[in-house]
Chain A
Amino acid sequence: MSFIELTDVDLVYGAAAQDKSAQTLAVASATLSIEHGEFLAIVGPSGCGKSTLLKLISGIMRPSRGKVIVDGKEVTRPLKTVGMAFQNATLLPWRNIRDNIMLPLEIVEPYRSRQKADRERNREAAEVLLEKVGLSGFGDSMPWQLSGGMQQRAQLCRALIHEPSILLLDEPFAALDTFTREDLWAVLQDLWSFRKCTIILVTHELREAVYLAQTVHVMSARPGRILKTTTIDIPRPRTLECTFEPDFVEKVHDLRHHISRGKQH
């Protein structure tokens, strides 16, 4: 059995509404299995239920039908072993970067009860992550003093500080300019080989998906169905050079083809 299993999952928004027309089927019969330590990307047109899929896996939402199983247990409430990052960095503006990154440690057990005792160790852990993403020396800065790309780096640190087994990324680089975005692909690839957690990346940027993931799932327009699963076997570490090679370009074209077919469904 895989680490994460989705079996025939539906999600209906407004399921409680009497009026059938007020209900929206966001995800339809999604079946996925994700291995431990896998880097998986989900691509699709906007509004296709990609983000909803993440919410189902993290347990923030319950499926209307079907089952979500993580680590052998059915997900019935928010998992505590998940890190998340979004398009907006959502750093707390009243905390400096270091305290922002250490926020999960104030919430998740066992760190929570050992906060005082482990203070030094936690600070070091934050420092190690900051260095990994190229932000050493910025621990004392306030979020607004950092550029958008730097805030996203900090957000990745916050998502990883409590050593989650699953990292859920919801279009984390969508609001960045191309150059910053490509820098962050490399950062994320490094983080993944450093931490070896399971990463699920939702994106509409096909090059991003092919650059980063081992497996790419293409979703159709609403109601979101998984149309196609591709394995990307380009050797790692992948570099920006790879993205110009024929093999890479062909993979991106192939995905694009499936997405435009998905829109006509």
Chain B
Amino acid sequence: MTPKSQQKLAPWIATLALVAAWWLVIRLFDIKSFILPTPWETLQAIYQFRYPLFVHGMATLGTTLLGFIAAVLFGMTVGILIGSSRLLYSGVYPLLVGFNSVPKAALVPVFVIWFGAGTVPAVFTAFMLSFFPVVANVATAFATIEPELLEVMGSLGATRWDMTRKIGIPRSLPFFFASLKIAVTLAFVGSVIAEIVAGNSGIGNVMLVASSNFNVPLVFAALVVVGVMGVGMYVIFDFFERRMTAWSVRGGDALAQTIGG
């Protein structure tokens, strides 16, 4: 087996190992299914509740993506602004760190007071949780542009916009995509938390209802659905990252692509 196909197989084997460990723990300690359901029971629950899981899963996905897109637009703009100006950076960055340190679960009730229960607080929570990595990464990319490069551009009479367009943005793409992968998983965390606290739809809501009915297999089924959606989004952004920033990955695939080997 080539190292490449080994790499392709590795995540599946790791997943299987986790499921096996899960099952083994239940067997060894004789854990009741209303405490921790077996993988098989969870799978059955996914099948049995496939329709509500799909509908609510889609609701969560929509909420998450709305919050996430807002976070990306906001994060990119703020990141470019504070990354380009040392004054703005030192002024605004501590504030952002402060915001990011606030437990977002604690904010959900505030959002509910402002916007009422339902989808809107979930979108806001997803946004709040996911914008920071985007800001931090884009700002870092902009703030670490080689001064010589700016000097070259400056001596040619380049405008600020020229520098942003020709150097800043392309240079920040690898940082940006790396942050997207983190941000999208955090956005799921945000929307599910908000749905648990104050949702009337979504996977979080399914979990809340299921746990109050002691339907623990369904709770786990819902968790699996969120996890799979998170991995799905991660894979999508990973694909675009490889496509658009091949230049930043010198080894392996990028090398094969450029040299044609």
Query: What residues make up the interface of A, taking CB atoms closer than 8 Å to B?
Result: 55, 58-60, 78-80, 82-84, 86, 88, 90, 92-94, 103-104, 106-108, 142, 144-145, 158, 162, 168
Distance (whole angstroms) from the CB of B147 to the closest CB of chain A: 9
Q: Is B157 a contact partner of A108 (Cβ separation < 8 A)?
A: yes
Distance (whole angstroms) from the CB of A196 to the closest CB of chain B: 20
CA–CA, A59 and B149, complex, Å: 16
How many B residues, CB 8 Å from partner?
A: 23
Enumerate 12 A-B pairs (CB-CB under 8 Å) in ascending A order. Answer: A59-B155, A78-B157, A80-B156, A80-B157, A86-B148, A86-B151, A92-B149, A92-B167, A93-B248, A94-B245, A106-B166, A108-B157
Cβ contacts under 8 Å, A93 to chain B: 247-248
Q: Is A88 a contact partner of B162 (Cβ separation < 8 A)?
A: no
Q: Is B154 a contact partner of A60 (Cβ separation < 8 A)?
A: yes
Distance (whole angstroms) from the CB of A13 to the closest CB of chain B: 14
Q: Is B152 a contact partner of A90 (Cβ separation < 8 A)?
A: yes
Sample of 16 more A-B contacts, CB < 8 Å, known A79-B157, A108-B156: A55-B151, A78-B157, A84-B155, A88-B146, A88-B148, A90-B149, A92-B170, A93-B248, A94-B247, A103-B166, A107-B157, A108-B157, A142-B247, A144-B247, A144-B250, A145-B259
Residue of A nearest to B145 (CB): A90
Option from B148, B155, B247, B258 in Cβ contact (under 8 Å) with A90: B148
Cβ contacts under 8 Å, A82 to chain B: 155-156
Cβ contacts under 8 Å, B146 to chain A: 88, 90
Please name the 5 residue pairs, one residue from A and one from B, whose CB atoms are nearest each other, closest first: A80-B157, A94-B247, A107-B156, A86-B148, A58-B155
Q: Is B155 a contact partner of A79 (Cβ separation < 8 A)?
A: yes
Q: Is B155 a contact partner of A60 (Cβ separation < 8 A)?
A: yes
Is residue B178 contacting chain A, with contact meaning CB distance below 8 A?
Answer: no
Contact code string B108-146 (vs A, CB < 8 Å = 1, else 0): 000000000000000000000000000000000000001
Give the dominant DSSP class at B's interface: helix
Give the dominant DSSP class at A's interface: loop
Within B166-191, which residues are at the interface with A (CB < 8 Å)?
Answer: 166-167, 170-171, 173
Distance (whole angstroms) from the CB of B235 to the closest CB of chain A: 23
Q: Is B148 a contact partner of A107 (Cβ separation < 8 A)?
A: no
Q: Is B153 a contact partner of A94 (Cβ separation < 8 A)?
A: no
Cβ contacts under 8 Å, A145 to chain B: 258-259
Cβ contacts under 8 Å, A90 to chain B: 146, 148-149, 152
CA–CA, A108 and B162, complex, Å: 11
CA–CA, A36 and B152, complex, Å: 22
Q: Is A94 a contact partner of B170 (Cβ separation < 8 A)?
A: yes
